Structure 1
Amino acid sequence: MPNSFANLSPLTQAGPVRVLLVNAGEAEALSWSALVQPLRLAQRLLPDGLQLEVCTLAQAAQPLPEQHPGWQLALLVGEEGARDPDPALCRAAIERCRQAAFWGAVGAGVLWLAEAGAVGGVRIALPWSLYADTEDVPSRAILIPQLYVIDGRHLSCCGGAASLDFSLTLIEALFGAALQAEIKEALCVERVRGPEERQRVALQARFGALQPKLSEAVTLMETNIEEPLSTDDVANLVGLSRRQLERLFKQYLGSLPSRYYLELRLRRARQLLRETNHSIVQVGLMCGFSSGSHFSTAFGALFGNTPREERQRKLAAS
């Protein structure tokens, strides 16, 4: 689990963790149900450790009782494709959520935070299909194509099925791997996708119409893993200057091209270590690392463990 999510663990030191979930959509919507069900199970299994409160937009806009202790973690949840919420109610819900120590949104709720200017300069995991809707947002957030992210005290998740992975990751960060494992077993979940994993959609669908040059650049990177191109090579091949390419990556992916490319290769290496029997040396070479020490160092910096430890986890699991 990335170190940033480990920052949530101190919330458990002052008694039960108080969590608020504001549902701006239907109760059966996937983003909502996938988020709330693991947390409800956690509350049932750990009644003295978690206090979960759920409410609608209208309820979130109501004044709190004078002695209400507030929440330590709060999320605004909206389903992609649903009708836009009442602006006044949405603003009130955002203000309610931002009073928590850690707060943010899931699904379309992430877009509402951006439109409200609440996440300027913050890395957010917005559903890819809503990227075009951010063009007129005055206070730009940093859009990343990952499933979910924590940036400082801000949490965001692209919603849909990723809400389940996000919820289970929050449970592990707050209450440990044992409780998460118990809930995974109850829900018949085999694997929790990490925040480093990307939204699994075609690049053309995610960026094509909005930024075709960016889409082309990332496609070049994805198809040149074993023999990586230089940033200048990528820029020349898509018809941009190096500075223009770096500006696009910074604006839409929150990263420099070289860093994004490195993480792309490392994610591929992690997949190979988990899913194949290639040796660690072979995996490094297949992902463009001629130096074993460079591969190990870069892998550890991104994932928090070495390629050897990753392979040992695979062997232990099997």
Structure 2
Amino acid sequence: MQTSPSSSQNMQRPLVADDDGVFTVSFLLLPEYAMVSLLSAIEPLRIANRLAGKTLFRWQCFSEDGESVLASNGLALQASIPINTAEKPRNLFVNASFHPEKHLSEQSVKWLRELNRRGSMVGALDTGCYLLAKAKLLDGFPITLHWEAKPSFQERYPELEISDELFEIQGKRVTCAGGTAATDMMLHLIDTYFQSELAILVCEQLIKNTVRNQADPQRISQVEKLKIHHPKIVKALELMASNIESPLTTSELADRLSVSVRHLERLFLQHLSCSPSTHYLRLRVEHARYLLSDSGLSIADIALACGFCSTAHFSRRYRALYGTTASQYRSGIE
């Protein structure tokens, strides 16, 4: 099945084909990687081959030493290919998930830099971009990663351009939020390199009734979760979410919404059964919890990043919401 004239011709084409025209997609598995991301990426390729009646894609997994890698679910696939003894892959995704900074090595960094020099596509699933960032391969590229890891990554690499997209493709850099977004990314690539009808058929085989667009949100919005549709509340929630480090006062929120403080408080009490300040505080403490679990930032730095004037103030608020201290929570997940 050859590429047909369509809008796909204008799409970016990051993958490099083998000499026989087949695209081999490789995955470097880091310990605690998310198996759902790996399988969500591979299955659309397998189905595309079956529906096309020939091999369009191949796939393979790498690890540093060639041994099987334990995923975050406690399972391991068969032994992988050692990175320094095999032919250099032309299309590689680094697949990581929990505690990515614990699993970065100079050996993998050097290997990725060599792939980049050879013109390979070097990408990442979930938090695999931590390894790419350490290798200095993300400068000047828009990237994305799992929403839960974004705050800590942004604190660690403030100079990089990070989006909320499901996936980002620019040149030879392809990053993906992970999870089932890997399926949407692969469907996009199938549509790019082959007929659009093939991507649709693969989507149907996966029991998906739509292919999510690159810009579709990673998360269910607060508005959807809370079933809130009042325009003033919706705007207030958006303002809160985008002003975590430097929180707005209730008066400032009211001014931006062109309502009185009293009216804003009535709206929150009616729709959320709490005051604006109470809801805002909960958002900031929840944001801190993500940073505690996915970043190496100190508790003092996390407190500042979430708009708390002191560590003591943050600790009191954290304990009031979760019933444990921030340090106890971090100790329990390490």
TM-score interval for Structure 1 and Structure 2 normalised by the shorter chain: 0.5 to 0.7
Q: Which residue of 1 aligns with 2:47?
A: 41
- State the partner residue of 2:106: 88
Give the match for residue 209 of structure 1: 244
Report the alpha carbon displacement of residue 53 of structure 1 after superposing the two structures with TM: 1.9
Decide whether the 8 Å contact of 1:57 with 1:93 is kept in 2: no
- Work out which of the residue numbers 64, 75, 78 in structure 1 matches 2:96: 78
Give the CA deviation at 1:177.
1.6
Give per-residue Cα distances to partners, 1:26-58, cap 9 Å, x unaligned.
687222221122123334445432222222343
2:138 matched to which residue of 1?
119
SS in 2 for 1:7: coil
How far apart, CA to CA, are the structure 1 residues paired with 2:240 and 2:109? 30
Please report the RMSD computed on the Cα atoms of aligned residues, expressed in angstroms.
Answer: 3.6
Q: After alignment, is 16-25 or 132-141 more displaced? A: 132-141
Q: Is this contact kept in 2: 1:104–1:155, CA < 8 A?
A: yes
* Unmatched 5+ stretches in structure 2: 1-6, 67-80, 223-237, 258-334
Q: How do 1:230-269 residues align onto structure 2 when only pairs under 5 Å count?
A: none
Q: Helix, strand or coil: the match of 1:128? A: coil
Bigger Rg over Cα? 2
Q: Using a 3 Å threshold, how does the CA distance of structure 1 residues 141 and 71 change in structure 2: closer, same or farther?
A: same
Contact 2:129–2:145 at 8 Å: present in 1 too?
A: yes
Deviations, residues 212-242 of structure 1 (Å, cap 9, x unaligned): 57xx99xx79xxxxxxxxxxxxxxxxxxxxx
Q: How many residues align?
A: 214
Tell me the distance in 2 between the aligned counterparts of 1:212 and 1:166. 35
1:10 Cα deviation (Å)? 8.0
Aligned partners of 1:117 and 1:138 also within 8 Å: no
Given the superposition, is the C-alpha separation of residues 71 and 119 from structure 1 closer, same or farther in structure 2, using an over 3 Å criterion?
Answer: same
**Distance in 1 between the 2:211 and 2:33 partners?**
23
* Alignment-mate amino acid for residue 184 of structure 1: C
Structure 1 residue 63 corresponds to structure 2 residue 81 = no
Q: 1:21 aligns with which of 27, 47, 63?
A: 27
Counterpart for residue 31 of structure 1: 37
Q: Is the 8 A contact 1:115 1:138 kept in 2?
A: no
Residue in structure 2 matched with residue 237 of structure 1 by the alignment: none
Q: Write the distance in 1 (CA, Å) between the matches of 2:140 and 2:64.
A: 26
1:100-124 CA-to-partner distances (Å, cap 9, x unmatched) read 5322101010233223321012100
Shift of 1:150: 0.5
8 Å CA contact retained: 1:107, 1:127: yes
TM-score normalised by structure 1 residue count? 0.55
1:53 aligns with 2:60: yes
Gaps of 5+ in 1: 222-318
Q: Distance in 2 between matches of 1:15 and 1:181?
A: 22
Larger CA deviation: 163-172 vs 4-13: 4-13
Equivalent of 1:159, from 158, 178, 184? 178
Q: 1:133-152, aligned counterparts within 5 Å?
A: 133-135=152-154, 137=156, 140-152=159-171
* Aligned-partner Cα distance in 2 for 1:20–1:161: 18
Contact 1:23 1:77 in 2 (8 A): yes
The CA distance in 2 between the partners of 1:170 and 1:86, in whole Å, is 28
Percent identical: 19
Q: Partner of 2:94: helix, strand, or coil?
A: strand
| Alignment partners' CA distance in 2, 1:3 and 1:199 | 27
Following the alignment from structure 1 to structure 2, what is the Cα–Cα distance between the partners of residues 207 and 30?
A: 29
- Cα distance in 2 between the residues matched to 1:2 and 1:144: 23
Secondary structure of 2:103 counterpart: coil
Looking at secondary structure, tell me which structure has more helix per residue. Answer: 1
The residue identity in structure 2 corresponding to 1:77 is: N
Secondary structure in structure 2 of the residue aligned to 1:19: strand
Counterpart Cα distance in 1 of 2:136 and 2:246 = 23
Deviations 1:242-287 (A, max 9, x none): xxxxxxxxxxxxxxxxxxxxxxxxxxxxxxxxxxxxxxxxxxxxxx
Matching residue of 1:271: none
- Give the alignment's TM-score, normalised by structure 2: 0.53
Whether contact under 8 Å (1:23, 1:78) holds in the other structure is yes
| TM-superposed deviation, 1:79 | 2.0
Alignment CA distance shift 1:72-1:90 (3 Å): closer
- Partner deviation per Cα, 1:68-113 (whole Å, 9 max, x = no partner): 4x43322111124567314235425534653453221010102332
Match of 2:275 in 1: none
User: What secondary structure sits across from 1:129 in the alignment?
Assistant: coil
> Aligned partners of 1:206, 1:160: CA distance in 2, in Å?
23
- 1:230 is matched with none
Q: 1:27 to 1:141 in 2, by over 3 A?
A: closer
Q: Is the contact made by 1:150 and 1:156 (CA closer than 8 Å) also made in structure 2?
A: yes
